[in-house]
Amino acid sequence: MTSEISSVSDSPTLTEHVPQRDQESRELMRQALLREPRHIELVTRPVPAPGPGEVVLRVRAALTCGTDLKTYRRGHPKVPFGPFGHECAGDVVATGRGVRRVREGDAVVPTPTASCGECPSCRAGRENLCERQFEGIVLGAYADYLLISEKVAASNLLRKPSTLTYIEAAFLEPLSCVIHAWDRLRSIPVEQVAVVGLGGIGLLHVRVAKALGARVIAVGRRAERLTLAKQLGADAVVDTDHDEVSAGLREVSGGLGPDVIIECTGSPHMWVEVAGWARRGGRVLLFAGLAAGAQVAFDATRLHYDEVDIVNSFHYRPSDVLEAHRLLATGQIDVRPIISDVRDLTSIVDVFASLDRGNGVKYAILPEATGWA
């Protein structure tokens, strides 16, 4: 191949003549593809073969997530249609040339992206803002096998702690995002926090807040989720369907309202509402993102004269991933109650239809089994 390149080195269409490396084996697997909004197909395709630096996992568990649901409903600026699912854990079945961190047979957990380590954001320690972190994104976890890109395999493919099931370990990525948010809040102690929106992420925030010793008020609108938040440690709940939320928050927080409100619903209306609920001098953390181009207008009096600070949090840094891994491995964050059900890969279409109707919080999708793995 090298001699071919040198002999035609003047040709601008050179790469078209270079044979592609063999990326597939002949063994077949199932993989869920999201073709367009609300259209998932489970297809059969060859199991990928790892190129240099790449790793192939046998998927043991994948988890549904709010990002998946958003993508399912309307597409996502960072997550293209195609192979679907990004939270998983599994076993290494093949490694490409140059892979040294893991070997065949290792139980591992990846995050879907990795930062480049070289750009100005990375060098400033803000790797979550890396321009290149979505290059080599690993998608397609609702499958029998998954190809881990060279970039992710080099830095964000961690050992599954032996004390954890594959389902628990697969929480690494969402928990990393939550840990990053708490790192953004660390400059001032948080005594009382309200978590608004009780999906998988909101419930993880409840758990992390309790682990950090804060008093937690869970704010949501479905009775079963409010009950779940209490099971996960919430000290008080406010039902947005039945309570006057601002007054309710003041009441259950001892008069002033919580120090911090974490917005996990991702609706423009709620972004503005939560800034109205914050106490004077309080902080609002906008965790859940909005659709590209969305505009919101805040009450200037609240922001300026009441010194309500708006803090934002996006994605995770390598240090957040390590901290999330540590918290999971040491059992400080028990994620099991957050799993609504464990389902077989063949149920993937039904699972997203249920989530779309508002049923369940977070499902584990396993290639074969229907029990905890």
Note whether 65 binds Zn ion by CB under 5 A. yes
For the segment 269-288, give every residue that binds Zn ion (CB under 5 A): none
CA distance 198 to 363: 15
- Select 122 or 228, whichever has its Cβ closest to Zn ion: 122
CB 261 within 8 A of CB 277: yes
Residue 362 Cα distances to 16, 328, 343, angstroms: 43, 17, 11
- Select 164 or 172, whichever has its Cβ closest to Zn ion: 172
Q: Which are the contacts of 30, defined by CB distance < 8 A and separation ≥ 6?
A: 42, 43, 44, 143, 144, 345, 367
Task: Give min distance, CB of 129 to Zn ion, in A.
Answer: 8
Note whether 365 binds Zn ion by CB under 5 A. no
CA distance 257 to 245: 11
Task: Give min distance, CB of 314 to Zn ion, in A.
Answer: 13
Task: Give min distance, CB of 231 to Zn ion, in A.
Answer: 22
Q: How many residues bind Zn ion (CB under 5 A)?
A: 9
Residue 263 β-bridge partners: 196, 286
- Select 141 or 238, whichever has its Cβ closest to Zn ion: 141
Written as six digits, the tokens of 202 are 């909101």
For the segment 76-95, give every residue that binds Zn ion (CB under 5 A): 87
Written as six digits, the tokens of 273 are 């509402």
- Select 42 or 116, whichever has its Cβ closest to Zn ion: 116
CB 197 within 8 A of CB 263: yes
Note whether 256 binds Zn ion by CB under 5 A. no
Q: Which stretch binds Zn ion (CB under 5 A): 8-16, 58-66, 300-308, 335-343?
A: 58-66
For the segment 92-131, give every residue that binds Zn ion (CB under 5 A): 115-116, 119, 122, 130
For residue 142, which amino acid is it?
Y
* Interaction mask 157-176, Zn ion, x per CB under 5 A: -----------------x--
- Select 111 or 240, whichever has its Cβ closest to Zn ion: 111
Question: Which of 31, 64, 67, 265 contacts Zn ion by CB under 5 A?
Answer: 67
CB 130 within 8 A of CB 122: yes
- Select 70 or 159, whichever has its Cβ closest to Zn ion: 70
Task: Give min distance, CB of 107 to Zn ion, in A.
Answer: 20
Task: Give min distance, CB of 279 to Zn ion, in A.
Answer: 31
Determine phi and psi for 58, rounding to 5 degrees. Answer: -85, 115
- Select 65 or 138, whichever has its Cβ closest to Zn ion: 65
Residue 318 Cα distances to 112, 224, 240, 303, angstroms: 12, 34, 36, 32
Sign of CA dihedral 104, 105, 108, 112: positive
Site of interaction with Zn ion (CB under 5 A): 65, 67, 87, 115-116, 119, 122, 130, 174
